[in-house]
Structure 1
Amino acid sequence: MQLFIDGRWRPALSGRTLGIINPATEEVILAVPYGDAEDYRLAIEAAGQAQPTWAATTAHDRAVILKKIADLMRDRLDTIARTLTMEQGKTLVESRAEITQAANNFEWMAEQGKRAYGEIIPHAVPNKRHWTIRHPVGVCATIAPWNFPVLLQARKIAPALAAGCTVVARPASQTPLATMLMFQCFEEAGLPPGVANLVTGPPDTFTDVIMESPIVRKISFTGSTEVGKELMRRAAGHLKRLSLELGGHAPVIVFPDVDPEQAAKVTAIGKFRNNGQVCISPNRIYVHDSIRNEFTEAAVEHTRKLRLGNGLDPDTDIGPMFEARVLEKTLGFLADATSKGARVLTGGRRATQFERGYWFEPTVIDNVNPSMRITCEETFGPIMPLMRFDTVEEALREANNTTYGLAAYVLTNDLRTAIRMAEGLEYGIIGINDTVPATAHTPFGGMKESGLGRECSHEGLEAYLEVKYVSIGM
């Protein structure tokens, strides 16, 4: 496992390494090269040199390589998924789903890249002709976090490659291993040297280098809103294009026409997926007064049945949290809520049956009020806070009362209610009776302070293309 620069696997120039820790055991899995500014610059130079040739490669030829990447990832699904579980903590079921979705992105973008159509524009005077063509943005820097390290890189790299852009990718320092296995698939699929480069190292240094470099024309980042704002400020120096998928604070609104037990199950599936460490995870659960008791009982019962354990164990429903910092943050949210009147219905403590690792019991709380941090900040942990509402207007007002706007969920069997909520919620993704809405072929992104642009779908490809207008005088 090494850095991948200009088609070669190599150590960091400094020789420095970083130990990757298994969050279930706190054991070091492997030490990997940990690069620095010079490694980043080498990767950028390689991408810059490869850019003209890759842009000139036909969309059909690029598609052949992208499809091979997808096929290789599927062939190696179990190996990559097992590695992902060991470095990140999620269950094998979730890791397999992540790798499958990542492969789907390469397959879908392989075909969509052939559809980067231009237009013929009717001329206004007889001696002129007008048309547009799509042109690759150029060298792109991609930055993905630790919660979905393979999928979130794939969402950026696949459309970039399909559009004819070259890439310098930086994975989260703590979760590079499965991404390195994905890059092995790139190499074996025949991706030319320099087209995709992978460098680990300090995030602040990476930001400095890509912002200073005139070669890098676009940055695609998934992470916190605070970091996204800083990238936006710094990108202004060279007017670099940005795609930002930032924080979320998703509401779930449960209407009285649904089956409370089924609604609780759907909500819990969304909430506790990857231990709540998901940007579109349900964070605020608003339940109609008339079914509040039934929903609460069902949510508690379902949560108590979830089996906590090592993600490699096939019987595990929820693995460890990613690291001590994330665990402490979750404990802080819970302490704040209980100090202000929240009641713990199940869970609410560190899991004590494990000798090592970052363990927290999946938790349900009620008596939640707006003074609590959990109602206004992104939780990123396995706590389900239950609140009440009475009218549609109240539900909309409370759900929209946030600076975030990534995802929102509505559970209802009434078509009028569904349409009204879909139109009234100020979010980029609306799930109606669906708390796991993301796919390769549908747009993913937020409104307000949850980001800029969209990933996946045809809009994800367009983010890596410029429109070039051609006018000919005859």
Structure 2
Amino acid sequence: YLGPAVATGNTVVWVPAPTTSLIATALVECFIEAGLPDGAINLVLGDGAEVGDEAVVHPGTHAIGFTGSSATGATIARRGAGKPLLLEMGGNGPTIVLADADIDMAAAQVGAGCFANAGQICTATERVLVHKSIHDRFIEGLVKAAAKVKMGDPFDPATTMGPINNAVAVDKVLSHIADARARGAEIVTGGNVASGFANNLYFEPSIVTGLTRESLLNVEESFGPIAPVLTFETDEEAMELAASSPYGLSAAVFTSTIKNAFAFAESLRVGIVNINEMSCYWEPHIPAGGAAGTQSGLGRTGGRHTLMEMCDLKTITVDITR
């Protein structure tokens, strides 16, 4: 939000997540060093429930942009009612692997979508819906993808997956896996906090199969390095499973038939559909946002779409005959 907001002449009050205060401070220092005028970006640190709420309700705030959880986004929408809102909220994006998909390629891409950034991306692959006829072969490929993950220091170039952000987030991942176990699911690999690290924030890349549609892994956002796998036998069943979550941010479809690809892309109630590509693939100029009526947000970020969200449209008419 910062670049587009400043580029369109706005003054910004930025309230970052408390867990990212140092990064936010470093970025603002870069803006200052680059010569940004004093007061163009104002960094305010503190608890979101207090500091963030004040920024939302203050009469001097004319518009609000937010990226974060659906629960917090819903609160901001209520508290900021009447102001323009750009909300990028949670996701539980389904990835659908059809029977005619390139299985090895799909497994590799799904692994990347599940484990990139330890699953802490709103468009991460949170659910994998696989045609029953290729389930076993797909799982074999996904296990290989998980085995290639190298956990470690995020600043080490050899590391491919770092830690989860905080202990509360780890507890949520553990609770979702425990719920899946209680409902009869199988933990193929992972499922635990990783050992051998300085803290308990590193989590094993995990694959879970045999899920029911009532499982928390299916209906909620986990935000961890988990590949929850469900099976389907018909396209209709796949669509029903895809729609069984209240989120509608992103999805992916793997198939070798363009007709199948667009049939699903047109029907999925999401803002982004990637074909034969992981669900979290995105380029900054592409519009991104949640589908209407879901818990994934309002408006669109990306290129000119973000710029337009940062502006007021004004109509000016001139009678040239007078």
Normalized against structure 1, the TM-score is what? 0.65
Q: 2:53 aligns with which of 208, 226, 233?
A: 208
The aligned length equals 317
Runs of 4+ residues over 3 Å off in structure 1? none
Closer, same or farther: CA 212–460 of 1 in aligned 2, 3 Å: closer
Distance in 2, matches of 1:364 and 1:293, equals 13
Closer, same or farther: CA 193–355 of 1 in aligned 2, 3 Å: closer
C-alpha displacement of 1:317? 1.9
Distance in 2, matches of 1:390 and 1:233, equals 41
In structure 1, the residue matched to 2:307 is 461
C-alpha displacement of 1:318? 1.5
In structure 1, the residue matched to 2:152 is 309
In structure 2, the residue matched to 1:439 is 283
Distance in 2, matches of 1:355 and 1:189, equals 36
Q: 2:26 aligns with which of 167, 181, 184?
A: 181
Residues 233-382 of structure 1 correspond to what in structure 2 (within 5 A)? 233-236=78-81, 239-382=82-225
Distance in 2, matches of 1:397 and 1:339, equals 23
| Contact 2:95-2:128 within 8 A present in 1 as well | yes
| Contact 1:173-1:202 within 8 A present in 2 as well | yes
C-alpha displacement of 1:216? 0.8
Letter in 2 for 1:394: E
Question: Is 1:168 aligned with 2:9?
Answer: no
In structure 1, the residue matched to 2:265 is 422
Structure 1: which 5+ residue stretches go unaligned?
1-155
Distance in 1, matches of 2:226 and 2:259, equals 31
Q: SS where residue 141 of structure 2 aligns?
A: helix
C-alpha displacement of 1:276? 0.7
Q: SS where residue 274 of structure 1 aligns?
A: helix
Q: SS where residue 217 of structure 1 aligns?
A: coil
C-alpha displacement of 1:457? 2.0
Residues 150-161 of structure 1 correspond to what in structure 2 (within 5 A)? 156-161=1-6
Listed one character per residue, the Cα deviations across residues 182-204 of structure 1 (whole Å, up to 9, x for unaligned) are: 22221122211111111211212
Letter in 2 for 1:229: A
Distance in 2, matches of 1:344 and 1:449, equals 28
| Contact 1:412-1:433 within 8 A present in 2 as well | yes
C-alpha displacement of 1:406? 0.3
Closer, same or farther: CA 350–208 of 1 in aligned 2, 3 Å: closer
C-alpha displacement of 1:355? 4.2
C-alpha displacement of 1:262? 1.5
Structure 2: which 5+ residue stretches go unaligned?
none
**Higher alpha-carbon Rg:** 1
C-alpha displacement of 1:393? 1.8
Instruction: Report percent identity of matched pairs.
Output: 38
In structure 2, the residue matched to 1:197 is 42
Q: SS where residue 282 of structure 1 aligns?
A: coil
Distance in 2, matches of 1:304 and 1:177, equals 33
C-alpha displacement of 1:241? 1.2
Distance in 2, matches of 1:233 and 1:351, equals 39
| Contact 1:304-1:346 within 8 A present in 2 as well | no
Question: Is 1:389 aligned with 2:232?
Answer: yes
In structure 2, the residue matched to 1:225 is 70
Distance in 2, matches of 1:231 and 1:178, equals 23
Residues 89-128 of structure 1 correspond to what in structure 2 (within 5 A)? none
Residues 122-161 of structure 1 correspond to what in structure 2 (within 5 A)? 156-161=1-6
Q: 1:451 aligns with which of 265, 277, 297?
A: 297
- Tell which deviates more after alignment, 385-394 or 331-340: 385-394
Distance in 1, matches of 2:21 and 2:52, equals 18
C-alpha displacement of 1:429? 0.7
Letter in 2 for 1:282: T
| Contact 2:103-2:141 within 8 A present in 1 as well | yes
- Tell which deviates more after alignment, 420-429 or 432-441: 432-441
Distance in 2, matches of 1:199 and 1:355, equals 31
Residues 36-55 of structure 1 correspond to what in structure 2 (within 5 A)? none
Q: SS where residue 364 of structure 1 aligns?
A: strand
| Contact 2:102-2:255 within 8 A present in 1 as well | no
Listed one character per residue, the Cα deviations across residues 307-363 of structure 1 (whole Å, up to 9, x for unaligned) are: 222223332221121111111111111111001100011111121222434122111
| Higher normalized helix content (fraction of residues) | 1
